[in-house]
Amino acid sequence: MAEVVFRDLAERQGLGSRIISRSAGTGDWHLGERADHRTLDALTRRGYDGSQHRAKQFTFASFADNDLVVALDRTHERNLREWARDEDEEGKVTLLLGFDPDAVTHDVPDPYYAGPEMFDSVLGMIETATRGLFRQLEPAIRRPRTPRSPGALSGGLP
């Protein structure tokens, strides 16, 4: 959900070509599979297209490939920080809901064992926090490209 929402927001702001966003899980349980149909249904109800998503796994190399690594809950955040090989990699890890000043929790709940309404609720949380994340990144994304600054920001969104 988070990757789809972030990509959509970047595209609507005319910055899609300046951002690389990848979703990856910390486990290999669903590699290559599409998102859960309830995720796709929730996204579709809000006007997003999640049909191209396929599950990938975060690896040690993912740290080098990303400027920012966004975790959706503290368990994933802890795992990612433990996998980091140095302080620079560890410093790339942040929680998505940290970008929502009104969030009442640090963790985006996993709606898998709940009903479809929970998928809609989780999507709402992700939309709000993603807008906050984008507001923080947007000035750097809009900055003109120079030989010393990368042309695109990327972030791993589980």
Half-sphere exposure of 62 (CA within 13 A, CB side): 25
Angle at 65 between CA 83 and CA 138, to 5 degrees: 110
Indicate the average pLDDT of the chain: 88
Taking residues 41-70, report their average pLDDT.
91
Q: Is the pLDDT of residue 109 over 90?
A: yes
Q: Determine the structural domain holding residue 67 and report its residue range.
A: 2-143+150-156
Q: Is the pLDDT of residue 149 over 50?
A: no
Show the 3-state SS of 18-77. Answer: HEEEECCECCCCCCCCCCCHHHHHHHHHCCCCCCCCCCCECCHHHHHHCCEEEECCHHHH
Q: Is the pLDDT of residue 89 over 70?
A: yes
CA 131/CA 52 separation, integer angstroms: 22
Q: Is the pLDDT of residue 74 over 50?
A: yes
Global pTM? Answer: 0.85
Q: What is the pLDDT, as a whole number, of residue 145? A: 64
Q: Which amino acid is at 75?
A: T
Q: Mark whether 8 is an active-site residue.
A: no
CATH assignment of the domain containing 77: 3.40.50.2300
CA 69/CA 58 separation, integer angstroms: 10
Domain count within the chain: 1
Q: What is the pLDDT of residues 31-55, one digit of tens each?
A: 867 888 999 999 999 999 999 888 8
Say which of 49, 65, 110, 120 is annotated catalytic.
110
Band of pLDDT at residue 146, cut at 50, 70 and 90:
low
Q: What is the pLDDT, as a whole number, of residue 72? A: 95
Q: Is the pLDDT of residue 64 over 80?
A: yes
